């Protein structure tokens, strides 16, 4: 039986029916007998000493089971972990899950109430009395580093957590007198991940141990970390990530609420549940981005790039969480992007502020890097009076130069920037849009047109364990897979990566179906439960397919190898003469005799007649540790209309040509690109977490923190080129973050391009109408003598 290969097929996602209808096991849907509910009292102050917390008013009230302060749990709650101490002298402050002596951001938990009903628990919070002694908030990174600044952690003597430098080549020479230099200061605003499903956790005591269900991306890492933080033995903890409704990095965390809920279940010997409200989540689920970037690009007059200097301040927030300090480092290697440089220097200082900690958010470090370099290249093009695409062409790595080791020491295995760009330009109609732009400028139209380019690359497939070790990360980057051949020839695939919306169940089924020659429908994929898939590194950094998918291929190969020996025995031939194709074993060159993998599975199960020394199982495990990252790339082009009278930006068209290597399921890739674009465009135009001068988060509802919907986005034109990665046998690269990484600079480049004639060379993100309007005003541009000429809605 030979059927069309599954890989490359537009399979609708197996998991969607249950996810879309909500008829599924979201953590908050879990109800257990005798379950209790915990609610957290949170600090209303950005920075204060806790003089006293009094929960006595709560105890004894109807429905109340217990109430605790941070001090009550101080002996057992431990400190929330930071797994990425990026330098030897890094300052890692203690991070108690519930504050004991001091609060350092609005929303930090200070006490909790456990009740038989979640409404009672919430009501009771108002009866807790707390005496705070206000301390000065620390909100501005640059001020925080100045001499005599108020400290977030007074015992540390500094607001700097670490400084991480990197340098290659002769930077001074590159920036010598004969160089054309463009220097800028860009701000990556703070963002709120806002996954659709709020965080939720349920912990039930079971025997001597505990089962935790959590809306997490990282059940395996979480179990290990919980064991280390709480001292509960690892084998007595089972962590389940049931269906999880999005994460974007925000659920790549070990949270205060997870630790406390576990400790409460332990103390009270009852199942305990916590689910955040949306505002609570906006305040206390880790935030993303928040960097000040001082960047400089040096080039020859003819446009050849010479050097790149990057100085970052990265806002850590009040504490270091799981990978907080590592996020800017993931970007450190990506500033040089697709370009060739003689020299590069990078330094990043992590800064404490009295705000919610930051951590991984879709792209983690790489969007920041891509933004800076792609914005800078556009600015350099203006400086040199060159077409920005031509400038890129002159500097990017040519397809025949791969593998290429960049100035940041990464070796890009493959890529073809020319091909992706060619395709994008065609789809976009670049020349025609440039002509329209010139025409609108000429006419002084109230609506101006801008074109933005982003020829991006990123590193994903996290990560070679060896490199993670060199970067002081606390764990490896391998992934595991197991294949279980059931007696009827049906297949259970177990993966250690942990899907939370990506569609693993479909993609993994497609891979296993091809590798084993079984129908797609005959494969089920199990994940996200430490008891079902005991080994894993979970899902983040566009790693699942490149690393976990490869482990699956290896596990399938092992199944086929075992089956081949048994098939040879069944067909009375020697193993070397057996060939396997489309699920059938036959003797090389002859159509008959033959046996199918399903028949071999049944024969193996029966075990009546197995060859000498062969065990009665086809099941196989594999662990894959990549040698290198993978490097998706692409060319994104954006046309933006800017209403110069109001500052409103409207995206007219967006073309994304991505090269993510071999595509397992085009439909899923398309979905990832669309969602990614929406999120990257959101940073460019809409989203910003704003704290006021007291450290209150002003954007604490979705009415103030603006997330765009389909109605705000143009119809995306997406296409692909396919340059297989050579670092894994599938040739895949990863697509989870590409859209987000690429689109932010493409959009801002387009906005700036549209209004450059007024003297504007930057608009701070998000490019809200007001920011755009002020940029025009501040540049002295008075676009129209009489207002009101632009379009209505």
Partner 1 sequence: MIPAKFSYVRPESLDEAVQALDGAGEDTKVLAGGQSLLPLLRLRLAYPEAIVDLTRLGELRGVRDEGGHLWIGSGTTHHELIRDPLVRQHAGLLAQTAATVADPAVRHRGTLGGSLAHADPAADLPATVLTLDGELVVRGPGGERTIPASSFFVDYLTSVLRPAEILTGIRIPKTWGGWNFHYEKFCRTAQSWAIVGVAAAVRRSDGAVAEARLGLTNMGSTPLRAQAVEAAVQSSAPGSHDALRAAAASADDGTSPPSDLHGQADYRRHLVRVLTARALITASRL
The least distance separating partner 1 from the CB of residue 122, rounded to whole angstroms, comes to: 4
Q: Which residue has the tokens 């109609």?
A: 429
Minimum separation from the CB atom of position 698 to partner 1 (A): 6
- 550-562 burial, b if ≥16 CB within 10 A, otherwise e? bbbbbbbbbbbeb
d(CA 526, CA 457): 32
For residue 412, which phi and psi values (nearest 5 degrees)?
A: -75, 125
Q: How far is the CB of 396 from partner 1 (least distance, A)?
A: 35
Q: Is 727 helix (H, G, I), strand (E, B) or coil?
A: coil
Report the alpha-carbon distance of residue 556 to residue 490 in Å, rounded.
13
Nearer to partner 1, 148 or 788 (CB): 788
Report, in Å, the least distance between residue 272 CB and partner 1: 16
In this complex, which beta carbon is closest to partner 1, that of residue 759 or of residue 791? 791
Q: Please, what is the minimum distance in Å from the beta carbon of residue 397 to partner 1?
A: 38
Residue 682: CB minimum distance to partner 1, A: 9
**Nearest Cα to 254, choosing from 320, 159, 161?**
320
Whichever of 427 and 706 has its CB closer to partner 1, that residue is: 706
Residue 96: which residues within 8 A CB-CB, separation 6 or more?
A: 70, 74, 77, 78, 79, 80
**Closer of 94 and 770 to partner 1 (Cβ):** 770
Nearer to partner 1, 541 or 790 (CB): 790
> Which residues touch 711 (CB under 8 Å, ≥6 apart)?
none
Residue 198 C-beta: closest distance to partner 1, Å = 12
Nearer to partner 1, 5 or 277 (CB): 277
Least distance in Å: CB of 784 to partner 1?
Answer: 9
Which residue lies nearer to partner 1 by CB, 59 or 698?
698
Shortest Å distance, C-beta 690 to partner 1:
6
Q: 233 or 698, CB closer to partner 1?
A: 698
Q: What count of other Cβ atoms lies within 10 Å of the Cβ of residue 33?
A: 7
CA distance 504 to 535: 17
Cβ neighbours, 10 Å, residue 792: 4
Q: How far is CA 234 from CA 177, 210, 323, 635, in A?
A: 60, 10, 21, 46
Q: Which residue, 458 or 645, has its beta carbon nearer to partner 1?
A: 645
Helix (H, G, I), strand (E, B) or coil at 399: helix
Q: Residue 120 CB, nearest distance to partner 1 (Å)? A: 9
- Write the DSSP string, 432-478: HHHHHHHHHHHHT-SEEEEEEEEEEE--BS---HHHHHHTT-SS---
Nearer to partner 1, 4 or 710 (CB): 710
Going by C-alpha positions, the residue among 111, 107, 148 that lies closest to residue 128 is 111
Q: How crowded is the C-beta side of 314, counted as CA atoms within 13 Å?
A: 36
Q: Which helix (H) or strand (E) holds 578?
A: strand 578-581
d(CA 776, CA 152): 37
Question: Is residue 266 classed as helix, strand or coil in its secondary structure?
Answer: helix
Nearer to partner 1, 470 or 709 (CB): 709
Of residues 157 and 792, the one with the C-beta less far from partner 1: 792
* CB nearer partner 1, residue 59 or residue 690: 690
Distance CA 755, CA 772 (A): 9
Which residues of this chain interact with partner 1, rule CB under 8 A? 39, 118-119, 122-123, 277, 279, 645-646, 648, 686, 690, 698-699, 701, 703-704, 706-709, 711-712, 768-770, 773-774, 786-793
Q: Which parts of 276-361 are beta strand (E)?
A: 288-299, 305-317, 343-352
Compute the least distance from the CB of residue 250 to partner 1, in Å: 21
**What minimum distance in Å lies between the beta carbon of 646 and partner 1?**
6
- Cβ 766 vs Cβ 687: under 8 Å: yes
Nearest to 498 by CA among 459, 543, 556: 543
> In whole angstroms, how close is the CB of 783 to partner 1 at the nearest point?
11
Q: How far is CA 618 from CA 176, 491, 659, in A?
A: 65, 11, 36
Nearer to partner 1, 165 or 277 (CB): 277
393 burial via Cβ count (<10 Å: 0-12, 13-18, 19+): middle
What gap in Å lies between CA 499 and CA 26, rounded to an integer? 13
Q: What is the distance between the alpha carbons of residues 455 and 522, in angstroms, rounded to a whole number?
A: 41
Shortest distance in whole angstroms from residue 774 CB to partner 1: 7
Q: With respect to partner 1, which residue has the nearer C-beta, 404 or 691? A: 691
Per the DSSP assignment, residues forming a β-bridge with 272 are: 36, 203
Closer residue to partner 1 in complex, CB, 228/706:
706
The minimum distance between CB 770 and partner 1, in angstroms, equals 5
**Nearest-approach distance from CB 278 to partner 1, in angstroms:** 8
Give CA–CA dist 162/313, Å, rounded: 10
Place of tokens 């009270």: 268
């Amino acid at each position: 039986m030979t059927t069309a290969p599954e890989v490359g097929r537009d399979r609708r996602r197996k998991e969607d029916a249950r996810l879309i209808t909500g008829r599924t096991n979201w953590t908050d849907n879990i109800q257990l007998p005798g379950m209790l509910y915990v609610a957290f009292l949170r600090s209303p102050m950005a920075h204060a000493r806790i003089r006293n917390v009094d929960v006595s008013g709560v105890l004894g009230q109807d429905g109340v089971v217990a109430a605790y302060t941070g001090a009550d749990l101080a002996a057992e709650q431990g400190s929330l972990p930071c797994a990425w101490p990026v330098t030897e002298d890094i300052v890692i402050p203690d991070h108690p899950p519930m504050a004991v002596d001091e609060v350092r951001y609005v929303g930090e938990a200070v006490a909790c109430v456990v009740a038989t009903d979640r409404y009672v628990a919430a009501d009771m919070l108002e009866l807790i009395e707390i005496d705070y002694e206000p301390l000065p908030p620390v909100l501005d990174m640059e001020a925080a580093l100045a001499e005599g600044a108020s400290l977030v952690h007074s015992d540390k003597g500094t607001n700097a957590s670490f400084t991480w430098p990197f340098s290659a080549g002769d930077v001074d020479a590159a920036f010598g007198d004969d160089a054309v230099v463009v220097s800028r200061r860009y701000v990556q605003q703070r963002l709120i991940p806002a996954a659709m499903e709020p965080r939720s956790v349920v912990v039930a005591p079971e025997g001597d141990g505990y089962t935790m269900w959590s809306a997490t991306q990282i059940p395996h890492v979480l179990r290990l970390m919980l064991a280390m933080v709480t001292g509960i033995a690892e084998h007595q903890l089972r962590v389940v990530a049931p269906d999880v409704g999005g994460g974007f990095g925000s659920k790549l965390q070990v949270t205060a609420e997870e630790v406390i809920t576990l400790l409460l279940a332990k103390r009270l010997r009852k199942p305990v549940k916590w689910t955040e409200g949306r505002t609570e989540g906006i305040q206390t689920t880790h935030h993303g981005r928040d960097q000040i970037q001082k960047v400089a690009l040096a080039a020859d007059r003819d446009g050849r790039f010479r050097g790149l200097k990057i100085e970052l301040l990265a806002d850590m927030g009040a504490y270091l969480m799981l990978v907080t300090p590592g996020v800017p480092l993931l970007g450190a290697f990506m500033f040089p992007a697709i370009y060739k440089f003689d020299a590069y220097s990078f330094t990043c200082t992590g800064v404490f502020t009295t705000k919610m900690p930051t951590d991984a958010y879709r792209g983690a470090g790489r969007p920041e890097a891509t933004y800076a370099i792609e914005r800078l290249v556009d600015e350099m093009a203006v400086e040199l009076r060159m077409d920005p695409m031509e400038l890129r062409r002159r500097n990017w790595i040519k397809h025949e130069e791969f593998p290429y080791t960049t100035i940041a020491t990464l070796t890009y295995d493959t890529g073809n920037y020319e091909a992706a760009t060619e395709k994008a330009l065609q789809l976009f109609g670049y020349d025609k849009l440039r002509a329209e732009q010139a025409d609108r400028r000429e006419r002084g139209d109230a609506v101006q047109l801008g074109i933005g380019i982003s020829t991006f690359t990123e590193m994903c497939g996290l990560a070679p364990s060896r490199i993670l070790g060199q970067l002081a990360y606390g764990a490896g980057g391998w992934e595991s897979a197991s294949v279980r051949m059931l007696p009827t020839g049906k297949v259970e695939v177990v993966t250690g990566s942990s899907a939370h919306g990506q569609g693993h169940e479909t993609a993994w089924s497609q891979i296993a179906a091809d590798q084993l020659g079984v129908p797609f429908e005959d494969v089920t994929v199990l994940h996200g439960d430490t008891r079902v898939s005991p080994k894993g590194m979970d899902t983040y950094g566009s790693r699942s397919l490149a690393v976990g998918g490869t482990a699956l291929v290896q596990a399938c190969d092992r199944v086929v190898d075992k089956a081949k020996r048994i098939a040879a025995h069944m067909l009375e031939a020697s193993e070397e003469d057996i060939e396997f194709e489309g699920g059938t074993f036959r003797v090389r060159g002859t159509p008959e005799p033959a046996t199918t993998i399903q028949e071999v599975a049944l024969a193996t199960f029966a075990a009546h007649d197995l060859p000498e020394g062969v065990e009665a199982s086809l099941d196989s495990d594999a662990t894959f540790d990549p040698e290198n990252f993978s490097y998706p790339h692409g060319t994104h082009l954006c046309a933006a209309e800017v209403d110069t009278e109001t500052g409103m930006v409207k995206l007219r068209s967006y073309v994304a040509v991505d090269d993510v290597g071999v595509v397992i399921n085009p439909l899923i890739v398309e979905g990832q690109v669309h969602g990614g674009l929406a999120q990257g465009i959101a940073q460019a135009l809409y989203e910003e977490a704003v704290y006021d001068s007291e450290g209150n988060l002003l954007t604490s509802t979705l009415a103030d923190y603006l997330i765009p919907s389909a109605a705000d986005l143009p119809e995306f034109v997406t296409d692909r080129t396919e340059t297989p990665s050579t670092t894994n046998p599938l040739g895949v690269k990863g697509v989870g973050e590409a859209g987000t990484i690429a689109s932010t600079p493409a959009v801002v480049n387009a906005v700036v391009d549209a209004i450059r004639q007024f003297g504007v060379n930057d608009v701070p993100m998000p490019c809200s109408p007001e920011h755009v309007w002020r940029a025009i005003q501040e540049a002295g541009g008075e676009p129209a003598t009489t207002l009101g000429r632009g379009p209505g809605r």
